[in-house]
Amino acid sequence: MFARRALFLLRLVRAARPLKRTDDVPRRVKNEATIVLGQRKLFQRLVPGLMHALIFWGFLVLFPTILMAGIGAIDRDWSFPWLGSQGWYMAMVDIFILAVLTGIVVAVWIRKIVRPRRFDGSHLGEADLILFMIALVVLTLLGWHASRIAAGLNEWPAHWSFLSNAVSHLVGSGASVRERIFVWAHVVVILTFLCYLPYSKHLHIATAAINVFFSRTRRRGRLEPLRFDLPEAELRFGAGTIRDLTWKEMVDSFSCTECGRCQDVCPAYATGKSLSPKLVIMGIRDQVFAEGPNLLAGGELSPIAGNGVPEDMIWDCVTCGACVHECPVSIEHIDHIVDLRRDLVMMHSSFPTEAESMLRDVERVGNPWGKPQGDRESWAEGLGVRVVAEGEPAPEILYWVGCAAAYDERARVAAESTVKLLQKAGVDFAILGARESCTGDPARRMGNEYVFQAYAEQNVATLNETGVTKIVASCPHCLNSLGNEYPDFGGQYEVMHHTQLLAELLREGKLEPVKSETEITYHDSCYLARHNDVAAEPRELVAAVGKPVEMEKRGKNTFCCGAGGAHMWMEERGSPINEERVRQAAETGAETLAVACPFCTVMLDDGVRTSGKQLRVVDVSTLLLEGVSDT
């Protein structure tokens, strides 16, 4: 039964869409060692992590006993070569039997007493059954070893097995009959479990290690590009039905254990939206299992959007990546959601109506607000910034301004500050002016891959023609596209965020700010801290000008401002994410809320205004400029 089911799952994965995930093997091996063997991501939560690690490590150690019991059930006197007679191993077996039992007790305590909200929507009965079966596996093993000692059948020194030895005194008469009963019970329990396994969420013990191995290694903020140059039969416009899923997406869905960590950290879920990343993956898995036979037979398939995954969920996502960061089995939820959006936008033109003008304006005018391209450099008037015209030599550093800083009054303050600081420090830099356009990021996150790729190609052409090698971006979303996604379109640049460059200048002593007593709390942008590992540099800057105080959700665990995934241009359903984040910031008692992203600036400033909190929302660069100007 196990083999039949396993074959079915394997055929599904083989029928899925191709995806290249075989590069960078050393790092994949390292992930396997830390995330699987070391349980790194599980330990992001200490108690549940320890619980799982005890059971997981326990079963690694106990694995040989399954073989021992399997053959031992048929031939009572058979002994596993060498290992079966090692006292130290049997001592470890007893230690890890205890470890697993402790793990199970903790798990029951978590599930029955603590009852965290992250389990909402998971199959709770199934989890109880699985825990019960795990307990049976180790208890029958203990019984078998104990009765083996009682019957004098142990081929290892009994005193090593402190637990089994102690229990053996309880076995009493008829030990050799009981030995047979226990070994068969043990084997039957394991075989039953094996058959049940691939039909349950416990399948992760087979697929999680595979899933972790093939997860993203570098450039975490990069989306897989769609290829429009393929022959008709291989073309794929996101995920309409389960036939369009990539094999990684399929293995993702098999690997989900419904632990709900993703749901727990999701800013959309936390503010009452319909989205739960867990339910998205579970919905896709259920649909894959239900329609799998149909897929293999080449039959009709129903759309995923509206069936396995409700459409609301697809649009609620801010692509902040908290779920991906949290998932212990390395499921990549954003890929699923963006693929579903791609199908809705490109094949069915179905998306929240209010986002239409953003998509149209990005496509037609090259910025999401429909402002004239000619006004793009007007923010820099009077600042003495060099604009690289066509044919002119590239500067050492190209300052990529981004649409928000170019057109939004609140966002441009950061660009002005950055420019003044770079001038003060004597950096050779210039901007592209009207030759810069939207990177295509909002269109891509909305699912309009066509428009994104057109912009990627256009911008890469401009940058390459100009001979740009080093870019400083003011917007983390631009940074992500330029640095992580443009390499797919022939653009290889060293891309850094303005906070990174400013921190460098600070370290070199080219900027010397005065430190004030102002308490500043820094809000990490998702696309900076989580997707691109930039968290230390902005903090260096904050520490140089004031007294840093931290929020609970920070760094890679940051909480979105609400604008990501093109949500800057959509209406929010449910309670506002930005107000929630402002509430968290105000709790620190800080007077200043420092940011490093133009969208965070606008969203959080709005949040401060609507919630009436006393906080000044300001970009780190502006704080630094104020610190420097005081001298």
Partner 1 sequence: MSVLVFLESADDELSSQALTLARSLGDVRAVTVEGPYAPAGWAAAIVEAAGGDDIVGPGSDRGNEVLAHVAAQLDLPFAANVSEVRGDELTRIRWGGTLLEEAKLHSDRRLVTAAPFAFAPASGGEEVTVLSPFPGNGVEVVDHVAPDTGGKVSLADAKVVVSGGRGVGSAEGFAILEELAALLDAAVGCSRVVTSAGWRPHSDQVGQTGTKVSPDLYIACGISGATQHIAGCKGAKALLAINADREATIFAHADYAVIGDLHEIVPAITAELRKVKGS
Minimum gap (Å) between residue 442 Cβ and partner 1: 12
369 binds partner 1 (CB under 8 A): yes
Where does this chain touch partner 1 (CB under 8 A) — which range of 193-201, 223-231, 355-363, 508-516?
355-363
Residues in contact with partner 1, shown as a per-residue x/- string from 440 to 459 under the rule CB under 8 A: --------------x---x-
Cβ–Cβ contacts within 10 Å for residue 33, how many?
12
Minimum gap (Å) between residue 402 Cβ and partner 1: 13
Per CB under 8 A, the list member of 238, 303, 308, 366 interacting with partner 1 is 366
Per CB under 8 A, the list member of 24, 155, 312, 354 interacting with partner 1 is 354
Residue 187 or 406: the one with the smaller Cβ distance to partner 1 is 406
Per CB under 8 A, the list member of 373, 516, 557, 588 interacting with partner 1 is 373
Minimum gap (Å) between residue 409 Cβ and partner 1: 4
- Three-state DSSP class for residue 497: strand
Which residues, 6+ apart, have CB-to-CB distance to 552 below 8 Å?
A: 584
DSSP string for 387-402: B--TTSPPPSEEEE--
Give start and end residues of each alpha helix (H) in 447-522.
449-466, 476-480, 498-507
Where does this chain touch partner 1 (CB under 8 A) — which range of 119-127, 128-136, 369-377, 468-476?
369-377
Of the candidates 502, 342, 488, which has an alpha carbon nearest to the alpha carbon of residue 425? 502
Per CB under 8 A, the list member of 363, 488, 540, 626 interacting with partner 1 is 363
What are the structure tokens assigned to 153, written together? Answer: 């059948």
Per CB under 8 A, the list member of 224, 249, 343, 408 interacting with partner 1 is 408
Give the C-alpha separation, 469 to 483, whole Å: 11
Residue 403 or 593: the one with the smaller Cβ distance to partner 1 is 403
Residue 189 or 602: the one with the smaller Cβ distance to partner 1 is 602
Of the candidates 533, 538, 401, 368, which has an alpha carbon nearest to the alpha carbon of residue 475? 401
Name the residue type at position 550: E
Q: The tokens 């540099």 sit on which residue?
A: 537
Residues in contact with partner 1, shown as a per-residue x/- string from 599 to 628 under the rule CB under 8 A: ---x---x--xx------------------
Name the residue type at position 113: I
- Three-state DSSP class for residue 305: strand
Per CB under 8 A, the list member of 122, 437, 453, 592 interacting with partner 1 is 437
Q: Which neighbouring-strand residues pair with 17?
A: 246
Are the CB atoms for 474 and 405 separated by under 8 Å?
Answer: yes
Residue 150 or 355: the one with the smaller Cβ distance to partner 1 is 355
Minimum gap (Å) between residue 528 Cβ and partner 1: 21
Could you say which residues in the range 91-150 bind partner 1, by CB under 8 A?
none
Could you say which residues in the range 554-583 bind partner 1, by CB under 8 A?
568-571, 576
Residues in contact with partner 1, shown as a per-residue x/- string from 511 to 550 under the rule CB under 8 A: ----------------------------------------
Minimum gap (Å) between residue 464 Cβ and partner 1: 16
Give start and end residues of each alpha helix (H) in 485-558.
498-507, 531-532, 536-545
Minimum gap (Å) between residue 601 Cβ and partner 1: 11
Minimum gap (Å) between residue 29 Cβ and partner 1: 45
Q: Which neighbouring-strand residues pair with 595?
A: 619
357 binds partner 1 (CB under 8 A): yes
Minimum gap (Å) between residue 569 Cβ and partner 1: 6
Cβ–Cβ contacts within 10 Å for residue 228, how many?
11
Q: The tokens 């290992």 sit on which residue?
A: 83
What are the structure tokens assigned to 384, written together? Answer: 């003495």
Compute φ and ψ for 367, nearest 5 degrees: -150, 155
Residue 140 or 437: the one with the smaller Cβ distance to partner 1 is 437
Residue 196 or 407: the one with the smaller Cβ distance to partner 1 is 407
Residue 317 or 529: the one with the smaller Cβ distance to partner 1 is 317
Where does this chain touch partner 1 (CB under 8 A) — which range of 67-75, 302-310, 404-412, 502-510?
404-412
Give the C-alpha separation, 612 to 583, whole Å: 10
Residue 110 or 434: the one with the smaller Cβ distance to partner 1 is 434
Angle at 554 between CA 549 and CA 555, to 5 degrees: 115
Question: With contacts defined by CB under 8 A, how many residues of the chain interact with partner 1?
Answer: 31
**CA-CA distances (angstroms) from residue 294 to 240, 246, 339?**
15, 17, 21
Number of H-type helices and E-type strands within the chain: 28, 8
- Three-state DSSP class for residue 30: helix
Where does this chain touch partner 1 (CB under 8 A) — which range of 277-285, 315-323, 400-408, 419-427?
400-408
Of the candidates 402, 110, 429, which has an alpha carbon nearest to the alpha carbon of residue 260? 110
Of the candidates 269, 325, 276, which has an alpha carbon nearest to the alpha carbon of residue 535? 325
Residue 108 or 454: the one with the smaller Cβ distance to partner 1 is 454
Compute φ and ψ for 103, nearest 5 degrees: -55, -40
Where does this chain touch partner 1 (CB under 8 A) — which range of 286-294, 353-361, 494-502, 509-517?
353-361
Give the C-alpha separation, 346 to 331, whole Å: 25
Are the CB atoms for 573 and 534 separated by under 8 Å?
Answer: no
358 binds partner 1 (CB under 8 A): yes
Q: The tokens 């009963």 sit on which residue?
A: 181
Minimum gap (Å) between residue 469 Cβ and partner 1: 24
The residues that touch partner 1, with contacts defined as CB under 8 A, are 354-355, 357-358, 363-366, 369-371, 373, 404, 407-411, 434, 437, 454, 458, 568-571, 576, 602, 606, 609-610
